Amino acid sequence: MKFFHLVLANLGRHKRRTLLTIASVALALFLFASLQTVVTTLERASQFGGARRLVMTNASGFILPLPLSYANRLSAGKGITNVTWANWFGGKYGDNKAFFAQFAVDAKSYLEMYPELVVPEDQKQAFLQERSAALIGVRLLDRFGWRVGQNVTLQGTIFPGDWTFTIRGVYTPSDAVINDDMMLFHHEYLEERIGRPGIAGWYIIEVDDADNAAATAKTLDDQFRNSSAPTKTGTEQAFNASFATMWGNVSLLMGTIGLAVVFAILLVTANAMMMSARERTGEVAVLKTIGFSDGTLFSLVMVEAGFIALTGALIGLGGAKLLYRLSNFNAGGFLPGFDVTTRTLVIGTGIALLLMLASGLVPALRAARLPVVQALRRVE
Amino acid sequence: MALVQIRDVHKVFRRDSERIEIFTGLSLDIEEGSFTALMGPSGSGKSTLLNLLAGLDQPTSGTIRVAGAEVSAMTPGQLAAWRAQHIGFVFQHLNLLPVLTAYQNVELPLLLTTLSKKDRDERVRIALGVVGLGDRLKHYPRQLSGGQEQRVAVARAIVADPTLVLLDEPTGQLDAKSSQEVLSLLQQLNEEFKKTIIVVTHDARAADRAKTVLHLEKGILVERQTLALS
């Protein structure tokens, strides 16, 4: 500890260079944490899904609807305990055309299907009883300054026109993977406004036993195979995973380029740290003359490298953790909220320690092994 | 018994295939409490001898004893610990760490001891007081004159109360006035504080302050003068 002021003094020798080196490490690790978080978030999104929930879409494509009449046939199916349905609405809000996810849902069955959406009982009842009511995620309250009882008007894109809803409830997800910035409203309201075409975007089907999910899915698809709208049914997890796969190649590309950038920055950082140590050959010789041992000098250089690497890690990894937590970034509602996982923090810290070794080891060994007489001759 | 005993020391350097013999059987005694000037032309082995005495370099053969300890037989680790305890060294230049204040530079040798912070503080202040820089504790080397820098280096060399104070051309880069200040300081350390001092110098004025002058030529001790000081 009594040598720590020596470490600090050396770090303060070229303040700008030290700060830039720390900033490089911080940036590299911030990038690493961000990229890793994209990957972990996609993984998390793809892994979400109730074990007993199936999702049925149109076999020709997710964007094509299914007949609403399938609902009764599905409900009558063997081993099926609940059926609900939803439609993507795609409205925009306000002059800024703000975007967030809105779904027209069969309200009662939908809330039964998703107990993860926690709503106060009085608000739930108010929502269920009013056709133009909306249930919003808690984040939308902060984002738009909305309040319960307020009327909000969206501009429809898929379903044109102004759509006015009354906010009757606010849900809080009990599982962080579920977005907290969605808006749900009655499918019946949508049907009524667009002339009752009798369509549903997709169905969510609950089965009594998770072990029967695959068999049930096949049975249902067989049932509608020769109809006007053949279906494609799979587990909710597989459905969510298919969205994640859409991001898959992007994330691979980002990961590859990003990691190359991280590696390049780390090399530059290591070089700066080694250069800084090389400049002090004469001083190392003086310290050896005074009686500083090889081990002490080795430790001093390593502590210096460690200080830079770990301070950079603290700023980069801590910054990423704080930024994503405070901003609640969720890719416009397409992904669960970004959160830098503990595993990412541990790996990032490991990279910082590796950087400490990579950048500190060579100059530390050189300092420890430096022959004083040769060093002084070189400096003179 | 002499404080420093050098016996049949040989020192050979190799530069590529060339073999350069610096000492070929040098033997020499230096008494405790002496003030010795090592003089001689460039390449005579003055600085090499100083490095050998400080344990910064090892003789090719022969023995060097300082205060009874055989320096020439020590491992690098033992030498580092020995230097911390027994040697104070002043170079011609590049003595001070530019990022540390005068106080912190002088404190360096004491960081290697078990002294408490309070004791270290007391010793640093005394050492800087002795060299007349008690009011420059917080000054960085860049804020000091060349002579003041050398005096801080002397303070650092004596702060741990070493057995031997070794100086390699301490006035080589100083003006006349600063040189006199440093030389007076060395004389004071020798006479008042009984420090054993060995100084390598080309400067006749520096030699005049010493009690003994050793002349080296091509690694051989060619003359030993004992001076009567006024």
Neighbours of B142 (CB within 10 A): 8
Query: Quick one: pLDDT at residue B192?
Result: 87
Residue A297: list chain B partners with CB under 8 A: none
Query: Quick one: pLDDT at residue A246?
Result: 61
Query: Quick one: pLDDT at residue B152?
Result: 94
A168 pLDDT band (50/70/90 cuts)? Answer: very high
CA distance A7 to chain B (A): 10
> Of all residues in chain A, what percent carry a pLDDT higher than 90?
46
Residue B99: list chain A partners with CB under 8 A: 9-10, 12-13
C-beta atoms of B87 and A291 within 8 A: yes
A119-135 residue pLDDT tens: 999 999 999 999 999 99
Which tokens hold the place of A322? Answer: 């704080």
A177 pLDDT band (50/70/90 cuts)? Answer: confident
B93 pLDDT band (50/70/90 cuts)? Answer: confident
- Residue B210 · residue B201 · CB < 8 Å: no
Considering only CB atoms, B111 lies closest to which of A3, A9, A294, namely A3
Q: Is A378 a residue whose pLDDT tops 60?
A: no
C-beta atoms of B98 and A290 within 8 A: no
B9-60 residue pLDDT tens: 999 988 888 888 888 889 999 999 999 999 998 888 888 999 999 998 999 9
Looking at chain A, which residue has its C-alpha nearest residue B166?
A: A289
A259-296 residue pLDDT tens: 787 788 778 877 887 787 778 888 888 899 999 998 99
Query: Quick one: pLDDT at residue A99?
Result: 86
CA distance B104 to chain A (A): 9
Query: Quick one: pLDDT at residue A247?
Result: 59
B104-118 residue pLDDT tens: 999 999 999 999 999
Taking alpha carbons only, the member of A184, A208, A238, A186 closest to residue A82 is A208
Q: Which of A1, A3, A17, A290 to mutate to test the interface with B (most CBs of B within 10 A)?
A: A290
A333 pLDDT band (50/70/90 cuts)? Answer: low
Q: Is A380 a residue whose pLDDT tops 80?
A: no
Interface contact A15, partner B, CB < 8 A: no
Interface contact A291, partner B, CB < 8 A: yes
A49-75 residue pLDDT tens: 777 899 999 999 888 999 999 999 999
CA distance B101 to chain A (A): 10
Query: Quick one: pLDDT at residue A377?
Result: 67
C-beta atoms of B83 and A372 within 8 A: no
Considering only CB atoms, B99 lies closest to which of A12, A290, A294, namely A12
Query: Quick one: pLDDT at residue B229?
Result: 52
C-beta atoms of A292 and B156 within 8 A: no
B230 pLDDT band (50/70/90 cuts)? Answer: very low
CA distance A274 to chain B (A): 18
Looking at chain B, which residue has its C-alpha nearest residue A6?
A: B100
A161 pLDDT band (50/70/90 cuts)? Answer: very high
A256 pLDDT band (50/70/90 cuts)? Answer: confident
Query: Quick one: pLDDT at residue A251?
Result: 66
Q: Is A44 a residue whose pLDDT tops 90?
A: no
A171 or A210, greater pLDDT: A171
Query: Quick one: pLDDT at residue A283?
Result: 87
Mean pLDDT, range A336-364, rounded to an integer? 87
Residue B56: list chain A partners with CB under 8 A: 288-289, 372-373
B174 pLDDT band (50/70/90 cuts)? Answer: confident
Considering only CB atoms, B80 lies closest to which of A286, A292, A379, namely A292
Whose tokens are 């390593």? That residue is: A302
Residue B77: list chain A partners with CB under 8 A: 293-294
Taking alpha carbons only, the member of A330, A276, A280, A338 closest to residue A308 is A276
Residue B83: list chain A partners with CB under 8 A: 289-291
Integer Cα distance of A162 and A160 in angstroms: 7
Q: Is A34 a residue whose pLDDT tops 50?
A: yes
> Whole-model pTM?
0.72
Mean pLDDT, range A96-112, rounded to an integer? 92
Interface contact B68, partner A, CB < 8 A: no
**Pairs of CB atoms within 8 A across A/B:** 66
How high does pLDDT run on average in chain A?
Answer: 87
How high does pLDDT run on average in chain B?
Answer: 89
CA distance B98 to chain A (A): 8
Mean pLDDT, range A304-323, rounded to an integer? 93
Interface contact A287, partner B, CB < 8 A: yes
Q: What is the ipTM of this complex?
A: 0.89
